[in-house]
Every structure is written in C-alpha cells, then in structure tokens.
Amino acid sequence: MKKFLVGLLFIGLAFLLLINFAELPEEKLITFSLSDYYIGFGLEQTGALNLVTAILYDYRGFDSLGESTVIFAAVSGIVLILSRKMLPVSSHGLSFIVKRTLGILTPFIALFSLYVITHGHLTPGGGFQGGVILAAISIIFSIVYGSAFDYKRYSPELKTTFETGGALVFIIIGGLGILFDGFFLDNLDFLTHSPGTLISAGSIPLINIGIGFKVGAGLAIVFYSMIQKTFGEEF
Amino acid sequence: MLHHLVFTVLFLLGLYTVIYKNNLIKMVIGLNIMEIAVFFWVIAVSDTGKSVPIYHLNKFAASFNDPVPQALTLTGIIIGASTTALLLTFIIELNKFADTIDSNKLEGLNE
Amino acid sequence: MISISILLLIIIPLVVAFLIPLLDLYNKLLRRYLVIIGGVIEISISIYIIISYFSDLKAGKFFLTYYLGGWGPPFGINLVMDSVSLIFSSLISFALFFIIIYSIGFIGHHEGKYYVLFFLILGAMQGAILTGDMFNLYVFIELLTVTSAPLVAFKRNKHATEAAIKYMFYGVIGGLFFFVGVILLYFNIGSLNMAQLAQHFAEIENNMQLTIISIFLIGLLIKIGIFPFHFWLPKAHSACPSSLSALLSGVLLKVYLYIFIRLFWIVIGFEFLLEFNIASFLVYLALVSSLFGHVFALQASDIKRMLAFSSIGHIGMILAVFLLNTETGFYGGLLHIISHLLMKTGLFLSTGYLLQYTKSNHIDDFAGVGHQNKGIFVGFILLTLSMIGMPPFIGFFSKWYIIMAFLKIQHHFGAIVVVLGSLSAVFYYLRFIAKGYEKIKLSASDLKNEIYNRPILSVFYREKLVTTVIYIFVGMIILTGFSFRLFELPLQEGIKELINPQNYINLILGG
Amino acid sequence: MIYLEYLLLLFLIIAAVMAVYFEDEVISIIFLSVVSVILTTLYLLYQAADVALAEAVIGAGLNTAIYMSAISQIREKSK
C-alpha cells in the first residue's frame, strides 16, 4: 500500500519536474535583482574579487555561520554516537616508499590548503574547500601510516580546540563588526585596501581562516571517529 | 531542456534508489544522487554563457554568470556532506546492534 | 525598529554550544553552570523584549528588525520579529529553559554533547522563527534536522538508531524539496527576501506558481508529519529520552507549523491556495491525518508512542483550523499551539519521570505506578484532562475556539473530527490512568527482579529538579486555563498580521 | 565544446545508473565518485569555479573516504 502510494507520487513528480521546471523564465521579475546588485556593487562594497566569496561571507555571512554550525552539529552528533573510551587499534600502514613520499608531499598539500583558504576572496575557493583539503591530510595520514599515527600527532583535544575555536572566531569577528560598524558580521572597513591584494576585503579572509581550521579539524574528527574500532569490546 | 531532462532522470533515479533498494548504504547513495541532481540543475540553469563571477585584476569585464545560485549551491553541497556523514554513522551503529544493513530485515524501518 | 536583542536570541545559544566542548577540556563541572547561565540569559532576553516593547504591542505596531552585516532588507539577510514570531519565540525560550532544568536532573550520560546539540537546536529554532530570508530559513531547517537526529539516537540501541535513520531520510528529502522551492522562487523573482518575494509572487505565471506551491507543500508536510508522510514521527518521537520527546513533540513541531504559516500566509499569499483549490483539499488531508493519529493512539500499547500519535492528531487539527483562514480559526489555532505546547511538554516530562519506575514503556508495566509516585501521577492526570479538554484547563478553551471556528463556517466534518478526537483521547488516556492505579502485590523476589531489570538510564541525579519542573508545567496549564485572556493582546495582533500580510511587506521594505 | 558537454551528460547518467545498479557497495561508491568528477568538469564548463572546487574536494574526496570507512566497519563486523 505504502509503496503504491509512493509510486503514484513518483509519476506525479516526474510530470511536475519535466514539464514545469522547463518553463523557467529567461528574465527575473525584479528589474534590479539580487544578482544585478551583487555584480554591480560587489567589488567596491566588499573589496573581494571573487563574487561568490563576497556573497557567502559578507552579504549572506549569516548563512555561512549557519552552515558551519551544521558541520559543528554533525561532528558533535557523530562523536556522540560513535564515542567509545577505547584507544584505536592501529593498522600498520602502507610500505616504506609510500610513507616517505607522503612525508615529502605533506607540506605541499598543507600549503595548497592554506592557499585556498587565504586566497578565498581572490581566487576560487575559501574556508570550506580549503578546510576539507586540510582534513584530507589527516585522512591520508591515517591511511598511509595507520590510524594511531594521526592520533598521537594531533590529539582529539587539539582538534576540538581548533574546531570550536574556529567557530568562535567567526562569532568574534561578527562581534567586532558591531564594535566598529554597528552591525553584526559587518565587513571591517579598516582592513579594506586596494582590491586584489592578500589583505583586502575586510573581514572575509579572517572569517575564511576561522572556518578553514574549523572545517578541517571537524572533518578530521569525523573521519577519525568513523575508522575507530568501535566494536573492539570483544577482544 | 536537456538539463531539465538530465535533472529529472537523476532525481527520479535517486528517489527510486531510496524507495526500492534495501541496502541502507545504497539508500544513502540514492539520497546523494538526488542532491547531486538538484545542484547540477541549479548550476546548469544559472549558466547564461557568461564568465566566472571572479574579477580579473587587469581587465574589468562585468558580464558575469549569476553568482547567487553558486553561493547557495555551495552551501547545499556542504550541508549535504554533513548529512551523509551523519547517516553513515547511524548505519554503522545500527549494524553493530542488528548485524545487518538490509532494510527488509529491520522491521523498524518497514512499518 | 532595529534592535540587537533579537540577534542575541540566536547568537547566545550558539556561543554556549561552541563553548561547552572548550570548557569540557578544562573542567567538566563548570558545564552545568554554563548551561544554566545560557538558559537564564535566553529567557531574560525574551522577557526584556516583552517588557520594553509592551507599549508598542499595545499600540499595535510591534515590529523589531535587525540587518545582518548592515545590508538593508532586499540585499542582505534581515531578522524580523512581529507579533506572531514574538508568541512563538518567547514560548520556545520559556519551554526550553524548563526542559534544560529538567535535563540537568534527568540525563546521566554523555551530557556534554547532549547540551551542545540541545543549545544548537534552541539557536536553530529561534533562527528559523526570526529570519526574514528564505535561504537562511532553509539553512536553519537543515540545522534542525542535523541537530535533532543524533538526539533521536541518543539511547544507543537498535530501536533508537532505526528511528534516527528513518527520521534522517525523511528530514533530508523534505529539506531537499524546500531547497528546490527556494531556488525556484529565486529563479523566477530574483530575490530571497521574504517581503520582496511576497510582493512579486502574484506576477509569476500560473503553472509555475502551482509548481512552487506543491514543492513547498511536499517539503513541509513531510516535516510537520501530516498523514501520507507521517511514518517517521511516532518512532522518532518515542525512541529518544523523554526530555527530548518533549522537545521534539512539544516544541519542534510548532516551529515547523510556524514555518508553514509564515510561508503560506505571508510569502505565498493564501489566496493562491484558494485559487488552485488546494486549501480545501489540505483541510481534509489534515483532518484525516488528525483522525488517523487518534485512532492509532487508541491501539498503541507503548505510552510514548501513544503520546506521539496524539501529537499527530493535534497537529493535524491545528493545521486544519488554520487553513480555514478565518479570524476565529486563527485565534483557536494559535491558542491551541500554546496550550498543546504546554500540555505535551508537561506530559512527556511527567511520563519520563514515571517511566523511571517501570521496566519498559509498555502499558502492562505501568501497573501500580500511581501508588508509587502520588504527586507526579496526579499531575499526569491533570495534564491528560487538559489534553482531553476538561473545562478549567487551557486545553478546554483552545479546543472550544477550534470547534467554534469549524461551526462558524458550517464545516461540520471538522467539528466532528475534533469531538471524536477528544472522545478517543478519553479512552486512550483512561487506559493508562486505570492501569496506573491498579493494585499490585510484589513479593520480595519480584521487587528485586524489577530493580535489576531497570534500564541504565533510570538513575536520577537531582530528583527535586525533575519534579519541580513537572509541577511548574501542571501549574501553568491550570493558571493559563483561568487566565487565557492574558494571551489576548499578542494573539489579536498576530491575527491582524496574518489577515493583512501587506502590512509586513510595507514594514520591511519601507513602502 | 557543446559535444563535450553532451558526452559528459551522457557519462553522468551512465555513471549514476551504474552506481545504483551494482549490488556491491564498493563499486557503487567508486561510480559515485566518478559522478562527482564528471560533475566537477561540468561545473567548470558552466563557469562555476567555486562550486567545482567544492564538488571535487567534497564529492570525490571526502565523501568517498567516509563511505569507504563506513563500509570497512560494516564488513569487519559481519566477518
């Protein structure tokens, strides 16, 4: 019965999606729409070359706060569900050659992630993407060196500190906005120099750095919790 | 029209997987495909043949694609990744208690 | 009027949630104080808003707003608080404050993450209610799903994890539909601000209007748990600890109802639901859902499942009475939202207390509970009486106005469903009350057996706190029953806003 | 260029169908990451560089790792 109803819904949905979605209008109804405003004034108002970043961290910065809170909530939930008071059972990792190669490569991966994070307002990228690359280092470490290696190097306490610290940095920068310009998450105007330089675009790079470390640490915690031998109780 | 067709096919494929597959991990994959379909559609429709919404320093061309859907999709992708991670965590936990990830054998998911 | 206090309603819970893990690294005992301080700050901001803007409310021009990042309404995100949001927001601060106090006595393990997720839910609820931006609303809806799902699985057994998976699947699909709706609105109109969308929605072509409405309807009906999409609700609301059931069933469903009201009365005008004949269909759908909820509650032998099914019944009733789109309907619906919030939260909290003295949630184990905990069981009975709709309590008055609203426009089916629901409620609550007063004789070995069979959770840390909170809720339903006219002023202002959405648009866009 | 887009769209659908079709979860996930890679290219074609970077990093990188760890946990348990 349930599956039959769902099937009916299915056909209706196919009809809806195919027939009606194709009728999207070419022009938006509002003559001066959101995108016109952002494209027209984005550079001079925020100082960011990358308009997507300008929207994400300045015009709609509150969305990004909510978004990073979603990641924070997911991490908290995963740790809540999978937490066991057990040391991880480590695999031995891959061969010597792979370990050495990774050792040489790691600084470059870290550098690339830092580049993506700090140049969010100039080039494609930003805190979220760079943060995921940062987390990838942790993931590769636990694959290549075995899961205990990462645990010894970067303890869960350190990761937690980075994660919550990053989120708090976001809120503190927002609070600075109240202090200097009168509104929460206001772009800090005194940091805006000529567009195109690294330190421009007001608070956007700072927020990017906060989010980058937060996302990196958070996703590392997620991966680490998921590879933990959570059913080690038997042995 | 082609984009709408691809979107519809992918979305319904994902929905089909969520509803008719029994393997829980396959169901999560179906959910992912649904999300992918929506995000693909948003980006494909918002592309009007203009350039990436990033200024070059020396040439100030101002005919950009609409940056707003891109920002919204970015948010959506990240939220989708966190929900996927959470769902997989629940499945690991369920497998620990029930020793199966077949939704047919879990009467709690089928009533 | 620009006021930072409505921003603080969202930010304070988030800050508390971010601080808890940091504080845990140093000292775990400080956490409890931080949690209480956070709750106190939250509720005092709510009280501050009510007191300092009371004259505005009386004059009928209560309206607070905040521009995030300093960008004005059409281009940035703005927070809005009007009379309807004032009712919901202060109710949530109030209810969650007491649930926090209850949790301190009730939850025994994994407290740190529990409070993190709890405060994130509080922040997300306030955000979903106060935001004036469509996409921001989507982000907060997803945040609500992501934070409440791990709490559904909090008990960490097979049952709870299954419930969480089911909840998550429905929640993510509902959220995805909501996302598509928001994007469609943006592609058609070119804005994300609710007021601007409301202004221009009438200019979209008819087919597209219908598409947008149906996409949003699928998304929101899944979230509210109306009949064809209600499968996740009873499991999810009964699998978690009682304090969380109270949160999900008593408070979270109202947030989704608020989003429904905000969307279909202000952003998408109600006249479009009438134009496409969706409104009358939805009334019947909601009433059928209500009937289903009550019927399933009759055959449920698990007390928390029974309460969850009863929630489906009540929520369907509220939705139906709102969809009548009359002044009496709004009054009855808003009043019943208040009363159902108080009653269902109180019921789940008292059930949580009573269930500590039973082996399981099953009705057979409920025998003799009334003798063991006399005071709380009397409170439980008073709450159920209010749920049924007995005169001196608030439940009677709200149900009275709902029936009046149905009768006023000659909608007899609705009135019959409400009465039938109350009648079946008499039966399904009476079963448990009668069982609770059953005399049982326990031998010494039986007693020992029962103590050893108790679940691990049944350790009370501070029993006094738990009972005090329950008594407060019982007191609230009696007090508000005698003086439900206290809500008259905000309710009337809220009704004015729902009837005249143009007012909201003018206030935000300054036209 | 337009043929490249058609080809990619075709491969996108084929990869998605494959991800659903195979019973083995590992193969499904590999095809899912293939979908993500194709999607990244498409996003670049559609002039959405930020989304392409996010899709490459999250869809092809992080999601695959998380799926794999989940499956290894589940297989280890049932062994």
Cβ of residue D62 closer than 8 Å to a chain B Cβ? yes
Distance between CA C457 and CA C352 in Å, rounded?
Answer: 11
Q: How far is CA D20 from CA D12, D60, D69, in A?
A: 13, 17, 19
pLDDT for C139 equals 93
Å from B23 to nearest chain C CA? 13
Query: Do at least 3 CB pairs under 8 Å connect D with B?
Result: yes
Question: Which domains, and CATH codes, for chain B?
Answer: 2-109 (1.10.287.3510)
Asked if C155 and C241 touch (Cβ cutoff 8 Å), the reply is yes
Structure-block tokens of residue A8: 């009916």
- What angle (nearest 5°) sits at the alpha carbon of residue C337, between those of residues C334 and C342? 135
pLDDT for A96 equals 82
Torsion over CA: C426, C429, C431, C434 (sign): negative
Q: Do the chains contact at C14 and A78, CB–CB below 8 Å?
A: no
Minimal-distance CA residue of chain A relative to C144 = A70
Neighboring chains of C (3 or more beta-carbon pairs < 8 A): A, B
Cβ of residue B76 closer than 8 Å to a chain C Cβ? yes
Task: Please tell me which of the candidates B4, B20, B89 has its beta carbon nearest to residue A78.
Answer: B89
Q: Where are the domains of chain A?
A: 34-229
Asked if A139 and A220 touch (Cβ cutoff 8 Å), the reply is yes
pLDDT at A231 over 60: no
Å from A122 to nearest chain C CA? 21
Task: Please tell me which of the candidates A21, A73, A78 has its beta carbon nearest to residue C147.
Answer: A73
Please give, one letter per residue, the 3-state secondary structure of C389-404: CCCCCHHHHHHHHHHH
Averages of pLDDT over each 10 residues, chain C, 511 residues: 86 90 83 88 91 86 85 84 89 90 79 87 92 91 92 86 90 92 90 87 86 89 85 86 88 91 88 86 90 88 88 91 89 91 90 79 77 83 88 87 90 89 89 80 65 53 81 88 83 86 83 55
Residues of chain A with Cβ-Cβ distance to B13 below 8 Å are none
The angle, 0 to 180 degrees and rounded to 10, between the axes of the packed helices C158-189 and C206-224 is: 160
Å from C409 to nearest chain A CA? 32
pLDDT for C457 equals 47
**Best C26, C67, C68 residue to mutate vs chain A (most A CBs within 10 Å):** C68
Distance between CA C95 and CA C39 in Å, rounded?
Answer: 10
B74-98 residue pLDDT tens: 999 999 999 999 999 999 888 888 8
ipTM value of the model? 0.93
Q: Do the chains contact at C69 and A62, CB–CB below 8 Å?
A: yes
pLDDT at D37 over 80: yes
Task: Please tell me which of the candidates B8, B74, B75 has its beta carbon nearest to residue A14.
Answer: B8
Distance between CA C244 and CA C96 in Å, rounded?
Answer: 10
A232 falls in which pLDDT band (50, 70, 90)? very low
Minimal-distance CA residue of chain C relative to A8 = C228
Mean pLDDT of A157-175: 85
Structure-block tokens of residue D10: 């075709």
pLDDT for A193 equals 67
Residues of chain C with Cβ-Cβ distance to B87 below 8 Å are 165, 168-169, 172
Cβ of residue B18 closer than 8 Å to a chain C Cβ? yes
Minimal-distance CA residue of chain C relative to B14 = C173
- Which range of A147-156, B47-56, C224-233 scores highest in mean pLDDT? It is C224-233
Residues of chain C with Cβ-Cβ distance to A16 below 8 Å are 211, 214-215
Please give, one letter per residue, the 3-state secondary structure of B11-66: HHHHHHHHHHCCEHHHHHHHHHHHHHHHHHHHHHHHCCCCECCECCCCCCCCCECC
Asked if A73 and A85 touch (Cβ cutoff 8 Å), the reply is no
pLDDT for A97 equals 84
Distance between CA C366 and CA C360 in Å, rounded?
Answer: 8
Count of pairs with CB atoms under 8 A, one residue in B, one in D: 111
pLDDT for A230 equals 46
A87 falls in which pLDDT band (50, 70, 90)? low
Mean pLDDT of A108-137: 87
pLDDT for B76 equals 92
C315-352 residue pLDDT tens: 999 999 998 888 888 999 999 999 999 999 999 998 88
A24 or C137: which carries more pLDDT confidence?
C137
Buried b / exposed e over C437-465, threshold 16 CB at 10 Å, is eeeeeeeeeeeeeeeeeeeebeeeeeeeb
Asked if B67 and B46 touch (Cβ cutoff 8 Å), the reply is no
Q: Do the chains contact at A125 and D61, CB–CB below 8 Å?
A: no
Q: The tokens 């009046």 sit on which residue?
A: C404
pLDDT for A234 equals 34
pLDDT for A235 equals 31
Q: Do the chains contact at A49 and B54, CB–CB below 8 Å?
A: yes
Residues of chain A with Cβ-Cβ distance to C184 below 8 Å are 21, 24
Residues of chain D with Cβ-Cβ distance to A52 below 8 Å are 50
Å from A18 to nearest chain B CA? 6
pLDDT for B110 equals 65
Q: Do the chains contact at B36 and D36, CB–CB below 8 Å?
A: yes
pLDDT for C155 equals 82
Comparing CA positions, the residue from C292, C345, C303 lying closest to residue C431 is C303
Torsion over CA: C198, C200, C203, C209 (sign): negative
Count of pairs with CB atoms under 8 A, one residue in B, one in C: 78
B54-76 residue pLDDT tens: 877 666 656 788 888 999 999 99
Å from A196 to nearest chain B CA? 7
pLDDT for C23 equals 86
